Amino acid sequence: MKSTVLFLVCTMVAWAAPKEPKQLPAGWPYDTIAHVVDGGTWSTEIVLANLDSVESKYKLVFRGDDGRPLVFDVDGRPAASTYTGTIPANGTVTLSTPGTSSTLRSGSAVLDTLGTDEVGIMAIFRQRITGRPDFEATVIGGNGVEFNSVLPFDNVAGYVTGVAILNPSEFSSLAITMQIRDEAGVLLRTVPLNLAAGTKQVFVVSERYPETAGKRGTLQFEDVLVSLSVLGFRFSPGGGFTTIPLMER
């Protein structure tokens, strides 16, 4: 369970229509899937959807947790860190990692739509273990624009929460504050988080912060000046899992 939670964590971005998005640096990626996993019973399927009535080009770049290019195998194509192609009008392209290796590898994926914002991206995470049904969870990619946000966690009755916190920028470091609170809103700890460009932190909440063991509560992200991509996964004692979306304050 610990290795499952640690590596199967990715990003989901929550928007609030009434607020104006913050200014992004030049070259900002359109959409990001902040955690891609393959091997050790896990695989990732990425679906690109052309939302336009004309064909669209794309470039999908895989990066390691350290922000450097990372080679991933994709079914039917030579292994690479960058995949390019064209999506038919109103069509889709699917890129799937094989999930056959005994070694678990993780990274992130950045979608460059080469001048158009009419391409969406979704990731499907799958765990396949002989003798039981496959487990899956999905996440929609986002461009990392965030305001101060809240992520609920649940570490009660055998449930475990894992979290990934990504700095999606290729150019700028990120320094934020994370407040950990229990169900009553009591502050348990304040944590400074510093992320170099393109890097992320992945952790099991109750392992990194023992004061959350056996509790429910929230992780509150403050002082977000440019961008932040966060996603939680809630793992059940039986092995199933689901995503926990970020809530904007």
Question: In DSSP terms, which residues pair with 138 in a beta bridge?
Answer: 124
CATH superfamily, domain 149-248, is: TM1070-like (2.60.290.11)
Question: In DSSP terms, which residues pair with 127 in a beta bridge?
Answer: 42, 135
Taking CA atoms, 224 is separated from 71, 174, 189, 193, 235, in Å, by 31, 8, 18, 11, 28
Average pLDDT score over residue span 35-39? 89
| Architecture of the domain defined by 29-140 | Sandwich (2.60)
Give the tokens for residue 173.
């470091």
Average pLDDT score over residue span 42-67? 92
Band (180; pLDDT cuts 50, 70, 90): very high
pLDDT digits (tens, 9 = 90+) for 188-214: 999 999 999 888 888 999 999 999 999
Q: Which pLDDT value is given to residue 147? A: 65
Question: pTM to 2 decimals?
Answer: 0.80
Mean pLDDT of the chain: 83
pLDDT digits (tens, 9 = 90+) for 132-174: 899 999 988 876 655 678 999 999 999 999 988 888 887 888 8
pLDDT at 7 over 90: no
Q: Which pLDDT value is given to residue 209? A: 98
How do the domains of the chain map onto residue ranges?
Answer: 29-140, 149-248
pLDDT digits (tens, 9 = 90+) for 87-116: 999 999 999 999 999 999 888 888 887 777
Question: In DSSP terms, which residues pair with 192 in a beta bridge?
Answer: 177
The reply to whether 29-140 and 149-248 are identical in fold is yes
**Cα separation of 207 and 222, whole Å?**
22
pLDDT at 84 over 50: yes
**Cα separation of 237 and 241, whole Å?**
9
Cα 105 versus chain centre, distance = 15
Question: In DSSP terms, which residues pair with 168 in a beta bridge?
Answer: none
